[in-house]
Structure 1
Amino acid sequence: MADTLTSPLSRRRLFIAGALGLASVASLSTIAPASAADKDWTEEFLTRSETREGFVVDDMDDWQIENAKFLIAAVKGHDLGKDAATIVLITAIVEAWLYNYEPAVDADSGGLFQQRPSMGWGTYDEVRHKKRAVDAFLGLGDHSSAPGLLQAVPDYDDWEPGAAAQAVQASAHPERYAEQVAAAQLIWERYADDVEPYTD
């Protein structure tokens, strides 16, 4: 992570530079994700638009890592643990590869969970707000009328994680969630101990 933040032309910055122009590279440090040390989940972080590029645990970029940490922090903030976090993570991996995905690729879907405003998950902005999106997915967001995890699967810890995710998402490709369980559990093992609960 340090290399990405200090090198002016890292792989990530070169990718963005190609899209924005080299003149924009100098300003990228101002939109870098919060460091693991300070846990400063800023409003800019919670609402920033990101690009879906790919997902492999060992190749996660800074945004994917910070989003994974934030999801763990938000789950912990609701006094939920590894089982709930695994379901949250596999869903965000499958739906948006751990990016707060902005462009609508499936009707009006958006955000980490590709939630649809037309299906009761909140407004256009709310489904793209990371805290509101994870709260809605868990069934703990007052802004959402869609049944979240705690409504759809109150005994989720007795379920196979992929099946629990599908109970919330009603995806046309339910098998994809189970494929990411190992990745989600590895992410939890790597980062959970260093992430404090987030309740704001």
Structure 2
Amino acid sequence: MPRTAPAATTSAPTRRHLLLAGAFGVASLAALGTLAPARADDAVWTEEFLTRAETREGFLVDAMDEWQVENAKFIIAVIKGHGLDEQAATITLATAIVESWLRNYEPAVDLDSGGLFQQRPSMGWGTYDEVRHKKRAVDAFLGLGDHSQAPGLTQLSPDYHQWGPGAAAQAVQISAHPERYAEQMPAAKTLWDRYAADVAPYTD
């Protein structure tokens, strides 16, 4: 899929807020505060967070916006909730970086693909809404989602610890550019090291 140049980090209001303000026309910038990740003080992952439409502007591991950070943390939380380890997390994170720059991509611009992993309903990954629901998308990628008929990581490469970097991700994604997953493994490892210790397992 085509990629645009990574977005620069800006002060408030953020570039994302300005883009959204343009998209919604007369909506005031003050109202855009409600578009921050819908996560309560007690760290509950809400349904709004799991399904909210987002834009995709770019990815730099040290210039991530609030959505990218929260999506990385959420992936780690789901991985831990399934009792899986760092290797599973880095494979999953690297895949989401490649496919969506850690944004829950809403428009179907590449055939019918969408969501964090650009999963396609026509290929058995779930419905239009399910591939854009973050928990279901992560579960499907892992091969642990009852809603998905497509095989995932734990089904295609249960011995993924023995696989080369990126190979396990490619087994699931069947990408035309398999080398891209290995390229993002260092960034994925950085995200795990940065956030894993402070993220509780998510099992809902």
Does residue 143 of structure 1 match 2:158?
Answer: no
Give me the TM-score of the superposition, normalised by structure 1.
0.92
Distance in 1 (alpha carbons) for counterparts of 2:47 and 2:105: 16
- Structure 1, 154-163 or 43-52: larger mean CA deviation: 154-163
Shift, 1:106, TM fit: 1.4
Of 45, 48, 52, 1:44 maps to 48
Shift, 1:24, TM fit: 3.3
2:119 aligns with 115
Q: Residue 83 of structure 1 contacts residue 161 of structure 1 at CA under 8 Å; is this kept in 2?
A: no
SS in 1 for 2:55: coil
Distance in 2 (alpha carbons) for counterparts of 1:76 and 1:36: 20
Identity %: 74
SS in 2 for 1:68: helix
Distance in 1 (alpha carbons) for counterparts of 2:100 and 2:111: 15
1:134 aligns with 138
Does residue 153 of structure 1 match 2:157?
Answer: yes
Distance in 1 (alpha carbons) for counterparts of 2:127 and 2:32: 28
Distance in 1 (alpha carbons) for counterparts of 2:126 and 2:15: 35
Residue deviations 1:23-54, cap 9 Å, x none? 33222222311459632211000000111110
RMSD: 1.8
Gaps of 5+ in 1: none
Of 164, 171, 174, 1:167 maps to 171
Distance in 1 (alpha carbons) for counterparts of 2:90 and 2:40: 20
Give me the TM-score of the superposition, normalised by structure 2.
0.90
2:98 aligns with 94
- Per residue, is there more helix in 1 or in 2? 1
Judged with a 3 Å threshold, the aligned counterparts in structure 2 of structure 1 residues 53 and 106 are, in CA distance, closer, same or farther, namely same
Q: Residue 86 of structure 1 contacts residue 161 of structure 1 at CA under 8 Å; is this kept in 2?
A: no
SS in 1 for 2:97: helix
SS in 1 for 2:151: coil
Gaps of 5+ in 2: 1-8
The runs of 4+ residues in structure 1 deviating greater than 6 Å are: none
Equivalent AA in structure 1 for residue 124 of structure 2? G
